[in-house]
Amino acid sequence: MQRMVNNPDYAVEDMLKGFVKVHSDILVGTENPRVLKYKDAPVKGKVGIVTGGGSGHKPAFAGYIGRNMVDAVAVGEIFSSPTAKAFFDAFKEADSGAGIACLYGNYAGDNMNVKMAMKMAEMEDITVKTVVANDDVASAPKDQPEKRRGVAGEIFMWKVGGAKAALGGTLDEVIAVAQKAIDNTKSVGVGLAPCTIPSVGSPNFQIEPGTMEVGIGHHGEPGVKVMPLGTADEIAEIMTDIILPDQPFMSGDEVVVLVSGLGATPVMEQYIVYNRVEEILAEKGIKVHRSYVGNYFTSLEMMGVTLSILKLDEELKELVDMEVDTMGLKQFKY
Amino acid sequence: MQRMVNNPDYAVEDMLKGFVKVHSDILVGTENPRVLKYKDAPVKGKVGIVTGGGSGHKPAFAGYIGRNMVDAVAVGEIFSSPTAKAFFDAFKEADSGAGIACLYGNYAGDNMNVKMAMKMAEMEDITVKTVVANDDVASAPKDQPEKRRGVAGEIFMWKVGGAKAALGGTLDEVIAVAQKAIDNTKSVGVGLAPCTIPSVGSPNFQIEPGTMEVGIGHHGEPGVKVMPLGTADEIAEIMTDIILPDQPFMSGDEVVVLVSGLGATPVMEQYIVYNRVEEILAEKGIKVHRSYVGNYFTSLEMMGVTLSILKLDEELKELVDMEVDTMGLKQFKY
């Protein structure tokens, strides 16, 4: 395992120490070492945006803390949910009295811990509402959306929800638009090589060289099929074939496209995949309003990419275009 | 080779197509398919900032095109210099009559091709002056600076030179401050695993598992020693031990620190390394004014990091802090 850690059991602690040092212009630690918050949180009168999840997905989750995006994040062990206490403390750090929008991904541990944290919050009169991201098309059939996982499309949910809150939206308005963003987003991943959690020391799933796993999850959850390794164009075609009919995305739609590397796939190759994705969309009359390519939601040093597509309406477009300043996503508005 | 390409011989072409599509708000292609430029270049009255180099280092080099940074970039094959013609065309695209600052790294091919391009420019009355980055301390002894390679510290040279040009600096002023930036920057790399050029299909150098190569170059150039793989803290100590005496950096200095991943090392681990770097600097009375951690200058899917430290003065501080909007570096000024 060719990795740069100290005691692997303290990798998250060590990472957080460095992370807070580097991004002190944006975020700060809190009393709970597993909760980070926007330096100005709670922002008076503003709905607080909270998320959380396992570590190992940088920039997700703490990398999306910042102006016009997320206010507080609960940090878990690598690939494990944060505790209920961490979510609860994140709610408290982000709460200015206007309520909390907890926007997180559909995983058993996160569901359980957010639910418990909400009970704790209720006792302290903090209003918390949730949106549970389920953009991963490959993780369950379309008629079982409650079984679908959240993956890189969560970034759109945080972007849009965070922008709406910054514009003064009420809790119900923020929840409604974040829900719309995730309902309008479909994602799929393709894995080319597995990853190793440092404290484990070997991969806990395998991808045979010469093959790729279509529909793989962010933690190596099995996909829908194992295929011979395709070209970048073929990978783009396989992914759009899965995503486009599911929404469905149709001629005349305007979309945002995110190709995120899973960690070790060179960014160069992500642009090659993107190039074909945009061609396919153009052939179908679907217009790309904005696109992102890079390591936006990773899984340690896994190889592969996820593709996420968000269907826009005027409200979503305005919120997507809004200026944002986080570690993981910085965007100027001219 | 678990990689996402089409015809490996056209990987750079395919990547550029996707790159221009995604970043059309910042940059555009030109008549020469191996030259990209800032969308507003040439900027009237402004010194043009040009760089170039081999592909496979994303965000370098084209990822630093944009407002307050680089105006035009010559793009080479993977790990190969751009042609003289590409450098020359980049000069023409960036030239508004105020001259060109060509800020590039010290490699034989780049030196030769920039020199030839300057001769072509002379015939068209375009004034070009150069700064040749040589921040890699491990690549040659201190008394042979002309033999030292340029590595991730080049980002500081482009940042500072680009900011000075945007503020209306003359060509001589831009060159002077870019030279000062690179003279004040020292870098070193540590490699944990090699990378594979897709058209080659296997790594052209090796790093044995359980070892690391201290002082490795961006293309696998041999380092100063092969050691047993250390912890993140040990790696930070080894790198600072090499860099700090070389400048030297001393108590009371203010610095900018860049820890850049080489491609496949998780960003999480880069923060762990950074954490110890900042501790070491603090112990020595060196103050970190600003820091960057992430995949800023990569080598495909190589594993490892580079550490670059820039010693500031008031002029450099103002230029480093200036707002910037490129694919690879976005920075707000509040």
How near does any CA of chain B get to the CA of A37, in Å? 18
Q: Do residues A138 and A264 both lie within one domain?
A: no
Domain assignment present for residue B38? The answer is yes
In chain B, which residues have their Cβ closer than 8 Å to the Cβ of A212?
A: 2
Which residue, of A183, A209, A238, is where some domain finishes?
A183
pLDDT at B334 over 90: no
In a domain, A25, yes or no: yes
d(CA B104, CA B51): 5
Predicted confidence (pLDDT) per residue in A286-322, tens digit: 999 999 999 999 999 999 999 999 999 999 999 999 9
The per-residue pLDDT for A106 is: 98
CA distance A137 to B48: 47
Give the nearest partner residue to B6 out of A59, A270, A272, using CB atoms.
Answer: A272
pLDDT at A204: 86
Per DSSP, the residues of A256-314 read: EEEEEE-BSS-HHHHHHHHHHHHHHHHHTT-EEEEEEEESSB--TTBEEEEEEEEE--H
Concerning whether B219 is annotated as a catalytic residue, the answer is yes
Tens digit of pLDDT for each residue in B33-57? 999 999 999 999 999 999 999 999 9
Query: Between chains, do B264 and A269 touch, taking CB under 8 Å as contact?
Result: no
Contact flag A232-B4 (C-beta cutoff 8 Å): yes
Residue A117 is part of which domain span?
8-183
Burial of B209 (0-12, 13-18, 19+ CB in 10 A): exposed
**What residue in A sits closest to B210 (Cα-Cα)?**
A2
Q: Which of A22, A270, A298 sits opposite B291 (nearest CB)?
A: A22
In a domain, A251, yes or no: yes
R_g (Cα) of chain A, nearest Å? 19
- B17, B22, B300 member nearest A291 (Cβ): B22
Asked if residue A110 is part of any domain, the answer here is yes
Determine whether the interchain pair A21/B233 forms a contact, defined as Cβ–Cβ distance below 8 Å.
no
Name the residue in chain B with its Cα closest to that of A14.
B272
pLDDT at residue number B40: 97
pLDDT, residue A26, reads 97
Clarify whether residues A23 and A169 are in a common domain. Answer: yes
When computed from its CA atoms, the radius of gyration of chain B, rounded to whole angstroms, is 19
CA-based nearest residue in chain A for residue B6: A231
Active site residue B289: no
Which phi and psi angles does B58 have, rounded to 5°?
A: -40, 135
A160 and A149 within one domain: yes
Task: Indicate if the pLDDT at residue B257 is higher than 90.
Answer: yes
User: Considering chain A, what is the average pLDDT of its residues?
Assistant: 97
- Assigned domain for A1 exists: no
Tell whether A20 and A89 lie within a shared domain: yes
CB-closest option in A22, A232, A273 to B293: A22
The pLDDT tens digits for A126-157 are 999 999 999 999 999 999 999 999 999 999 99
Q: Which of residues 28-87 of B touch A (CB under 8 A)?
A: 55-56, 58-59
Task: Determine the residue of chain B that is closest to A256 in CA distance.
Answer: B22
HSE value, Cβ hemisphere, 13 Å, CA-based, for B129: 14
The tens digit of pLDDT for each residue in A237-256 reads 999 999 999 999 999 999 99
Final residue before a domain boundary, out of A183, A204, A236: A183
Same domain, A300 and A265: yes
A265, B58: Cβ pair inside 8 Å? no
CB-CB under 8 Å, B274 with A2:
no
Domain contains B309: yes
Q: A33 with A143, same domain?
A: yes
Check CB contact of A272 with chain B, cutoff 8 Å: yes
pLDDT of residue A40: 97
Closest Cα in chain B to A59: B267
Read off the pLDDT of each residue in A188-213 and give the average, rounded to a whole number.
96
Stated as kind and residue range, the H or E segment containing A67 is: strand A66-67
pLDDT band (50, 70, 90) for residue A278: very high
Q: How is residue B189 written in tokens?
A: 């790399």
Contact B3 A270 (CB under 8 A): no
Helix (H) or strand (E) holding A189: strand A185-193
Distance from CA of B20 to the nearest CA of A (A): 9
Task: Give me the mean pLDDT over the A66-77 stretch.
Answer: 98
Which of B116, B133, B150 is the last residue before a domain boundary? B133
Burial class (CB in 10 A: 0-12, 13-18, 19+), B227: middle
178-237 in chain A: CB under 8 A from chain B: 192-193, 207, 209, 212, 229, 231-233, 235
The question of ipTM being above 0.95 is answered as: yes
The one-character DSSP state at A76 is E
Side-chain half-sphere CA neighbours of A309 within 13 A: 27
* pLDDT tens-digit series, residues B107-145: 999 999 999 999 999 999 999 999 999 999 999 999 999
Q: Is pLDDT of B204 > 90?
A: no
DSSP string, A205-272: S---TTEEEET--TT----SEEEE---HHHHHHHHHHHHTTTTT--TT-EEEEEEEE-BSS-HHHHHH
Whether residue A155 is found in the same domain as residue A207 = no
Whether A123 and A192 share a structural domain: no
- Three-state secondary structure readout of chain B: CCCCCCCHHHHHHHHHHHHHHHCCCCEEECCCCCEEEECCCCCCCCCEEEEEEEECCCECCHHHEEECCECEEEEEEECCCCCHHHHHHHHHHHCCCCCEEEEEECCHHHHHHHHHHHHHHHHCCCCEEEEEECCEHHHCCCCCHHHCCCCCCHHHHHHHHHHHHHCCCCHHHHHHHHHHHHHCEEEEEEEEECCCCCCCCCCCCCCCCCEEEECCCCCCCCCCEEEECCCHHHHHHHHHHHHCCCCCCCCCCEEEEEEEECECCCHHHHHHHHHHHHHHHHHCCCEEEEEEEECCECCCCEEEEEEEEEECCHHHHHHHHCCEEECCCEECCC
**CATH assignment at residue B117:** 3.40.50.10440
DSSP element (H, E) containing A100: strand A100-105
Minimal Cα–Cα distance from A120 to chain B, Å?
A: 31
Domain count, chain A: 2
Structure tokens, A143: 């008629």
Q: Which two tokens stand for residue A148?
A: 């679908």
Q: Which residues contact residue A176 at a Cβ distance below 8 angstroms, ignoring those fewer than 6 apart?
A: none
Domain assignment present for residue B332? The answer is no
Using DSSP, state whether A113 is helix, strand or coil: helix
Same-domain status, B214 and B112: no
d(CA A161, CA A175): 7
Rounded to 10 deg, the angle between the B314-321 and B154-166 helix axes is 90
Question: What is the CATH classification number for the domain harbouring B301?
Answer: 3.30.1180.20
- Would you state the pLDDT for residue B255? 98
Report whether B46 contacts B164 (CB < 8 A): no
Give the long-range contacts of residues A205-209, CB within 8 A, separation 24 or more.
Answer: A207/B2, A209/B2
Phi, psi of A250 (to 5 degrees): -135, 165
Q: What is the mean pLDDT of residues B14-29?
A: 98
pLDDT at B235: 98
Judged by CB atoms closer than 8 Å, whether chains meet at B2 and A207 is answered as yes
Distance of CA A104 to the CA centre of its chain: 8
Which entry of B23, B218, B219, B289 is annotated as an active-site residue? B219
* Beta pairing class for A100-105 and A128-133: parallel
Cβ proximity of B212 and B226 under 8 Å: yes
Question: What is the arithmetic mean of pLDDT over B324-333?
Answer: 97
Reduce the DSSP state of residue A323 to 3 states and report it: coil
Calculate mean pLDDT across residues B21-32: 98
The answer on pLDDT for A334 being more than 90 is no
Confidence at residue A243, expressed as pLDDT on a 0 to 100 scale: 98
Task: Let me know whether A37 and A173 are in one domain.
Answer: yes
The confidence band for A188, taking pLDDT boundaries of 50, 70 and 90, is very high
Residues A160 and A197 in one domain: no
B242 shares its domain with B118 = no
How close A63 gets to chain B, by Cα (Å)? 11
User: In angstroms, rounded to a whole number, what is the distance separating the alpha carbons of residues B327 and B332?
Assistant: 14
| Region of residue A117 (left: phi > 0; alpha: psi -120 to 50; beta: else) | alpha
Establish if A205 belongs to a structural domain. yes
For chain A, give percent helix, strand, coil, nearest 5. 35, 25, 40
CB contact under 8 A, A271 and B2: no
Nearest CA-CA partner of A190 in A231, A142, A133, A239: A239
Residues in chain B with CB shorter than 8 Å from the CB of A21 are 274-275, 278, 288, 291
Give pLDDT, residue B102.
99
* Contact across the interface for B272 and A21, Cβ inside 8 Å: no
Contact B270 A59 (CB under 8 A): no
